[in-house]
Structure 1
């Protein structure tokens, strides 16, 4: 039984008119207008449910990324300390990465020697990694809405790279000031003090206070451009390598070739380790410039730092600490992704 035009609701009338006057291809793309109060109520409920689900997924990404970041700091900070000290020390201060470790422990003991400056990354790493993994998920959503996705819903490696690059944009606002504090404290720890002399900075908060007093917000955020220049392509390589290795290691059905099982934690760990190496290889020279820029005294520029480094040692001057950085990348990033995956599994058990 059809509804007469006189008894139609306004919504039904609009839907009928659109269907009858517009080409079918166009009309099918226009959202359906609720025709009754009951239908409107149901659609609002459905939209609210989708919004709540999306919000919960983003909160989980934040929480899982934060936990993964804490795992990365605990495992990787000693390697990072060695890298930064080799990048910023004058020529001849250290003969090798092992020499950095030996002298650091001899001067400050095991805990302080290998974990100098750890307070800044521990305080900053939770929001830093949380925003990174949240930004990555948001980047994937943007890619899906602005480009063609495969029929199975999986993004291509190029699309994963684009989402990874996007994740570095919001993360830089957190990464740059915390890394500025971290490297200053790490470098301070390698300076020999005269008898009775106290270090310039007593901790992370004191670094921020003095930097702000000397140069305002710009001083605290020095190195932000270099940080983005490092983390943009680095994150693109990071997430692309992780997804690529995961896909290669995922069990597949021998007949159909389709995924037939879950990835083991060992495989996740290997994929995370490979992602860390892939991230550092293309961007390490930029990281050296960033470390020099953030620890230099007075007003300096990226161009001035680059010219100074090249003048002292040519291209090789951009790669001190490359070995420790790669050595750190393996365990730290394996711990990061393992922590993220374990956090997601734990939250799925609790909330699903």
Structure 2
């Protein structure tokens, strides 16, 4: 018997939160390198140079700069994402005239994930804004774009409130949604397709394929997401970080400025650490989500 909708929503939300936390702890240093390379593509020769320079200048703390807002961002985003994902699947079942327990196709699940990402963007944007600013703070001070200041979560939050008000936390929201909607179609679609392939090969149910196949499927989904939407993410990071200087540029203006002044390659700056990060981080995300969701569903059934 399916749980009550409120119980199911709580299970999906909790499982998403656990998966989000696992994602951050497994991939934060590589995410920091990604943001630095996106924002300052001419400052670093490559991923290894960025990683080693940050470690030498700031230490291990520098690689985990922005972990607190990243945790808040990922827990909030994935809680809302997976809760909305479950709800959107029910909406698709209803519109398609299917039973509440009907198994959706991989494409239908991809559509559910794509729509769910709109809701998660609303909670992701403010926390990711703070995270990106913290991660790029050292380079912004070094290049003279901003005055030296206290680089803590609270100092960044106060600065945004003082200069831009509550609306300031949603700088880059349009670009975030433009990134998330097609990205999560690919993310969930590739993840479910990969799980289906494993299940057919292993002759078992998708929920029983095991740890390694789940992690590989999650990593594969993440790789597909980033290959499709990476330029959008680069523009988003640039908008959110450069808004510290008081420059308010929209998506298209920022996109064209980067392409004209720095070349198309600049839109893919930081792709290497992103692709290196995506398998452990997204593998951990889905493993945390699937394992905790399965555990809670079993507890409910018993």
TM-score normalised to the size of structure 1? 0.78
Q: Which residue of 1 aligns with 2:128?
A: 179
1:123, distance to aligned residue in structure 2 (A): 2.2
Call closer, same or farther: CA 1:140–1:261 in 2, change over 3 Å: closer
Task: Compute the displacement of 1:345 (Å).
Answer: 3.1
Tell me, yes or no, if structure 1 residue 272 matches structure 2 residue 218: yes
Name the counterpart of 1:157: 106
**Does the CA contact (< 8 Å) of 2:41 and 2:269 recur in 1?**
no
Q: Distance in 2 between matches of 1:209 and 1:273?
A: 36
Please show how residues 1-20 of structure 1 align to structure 2 within 5 Å: none
Aligned 8 A contact 2:198 2:206 in 1: no
Aligned to 1:342: 291
Shift of the 275–90 alpha-carbon distance from structure 1 to 2, 3 Å rule, reads: closer
**Alignment correspondent of 1:54:** 5
Name structure 1 gaps, 5 residues minimum. Answer: 1-48
Residue 332 (structure 1) aligned with residue 281 (structure 2): yes
Shift of 1:348: 3.5
Aligned pairs for 1:70-219 (under 5 A) are 70-91=21-42, 93-110=43-60, 112-147=61-96, 153-191=102-140, 199-219=148-168
Q: Secondary structure at the match of 2:193?
A: helix
Check whether the contact 1:61–1:134 (CA below 8 A) recurs between aligned residues: yes
3-state SS of 2:139 partner: coil
What secondary structure, in the 3-state scheme, does the structure 2 residue paired with 1:80 have?
helix
Counterpart of 2:227? 281
Structure 2 runs not aligned, ≥5 long = none
Q: 2 CA distance for matches of 1:120 and 1:217? A: 17
Partner of 2:185: 236
Deviation string 1:111-165 (CA, Å, 9 cap, x unpaired) is: x121011110112321211101111111111111112559x93222321121011
Contact 1:118 1:182 in 2 (8 A): yes
* TM-score normalised by L of structure 2: 0.91
Q: Which residue of the partner structure matches residue 5 of structure 1?
A: none
* CA–CA distance in structure 1, aligned partners of residues 270 and 25 of structure 2: 19
Q: 1:307 aligns with which of 241, 251, 256?
A: 256
Whether 2:24 is the aligned partner of 1:67: answer no
Output aligned runs, 1:225-264, within 5 Å. 225-251=174-200, 259=205, 262-264=208-210
| Root mean square deviation, CA, Å | 2.5
Pick which of 114-123 and 57-66 moved more: 114-123
User: C-alpha displacement at 1:55, in angstroms?
Assistant: 1.2
Are the counterparts in 2 of residues 230 and 286 from structure 1 also a CA contact under 8 Å?
yes
CA distance in 1, matches of 2:91, 2:198: 27
**CA deviation after TM superposition for structure 1 residue 192, in Å:** 5.7
Rate the CA distance shift 1:289–1:193 in 2: closer, same or farther, 3 A. closer
Higher helix share: 2
CA distance in structure 2 between the aligned counterparts of 1:330 and 1:260, rounded to whole angstroms: 19
Structure 1 residue 106: deviation in Å?
0.5
Q: Which of structures 1 and 2 has the larger relative contact order (alpha carbons within 8 angstroms, sep 6+)? A: 2
Counterpart Cα distance in 1 of 2:221 and 2:284: 12
**CA deviation after TM superposition for structure 1 residue 176, in Å:** 0.5
The 3 A distance-change label for structure 1 pair 253 and 327 is closer
Label 1:200 to 1:228 Cα distance change in 2 as closer, same or farther (>3 A). same
1:190 to partner: Cα distance: 3.1
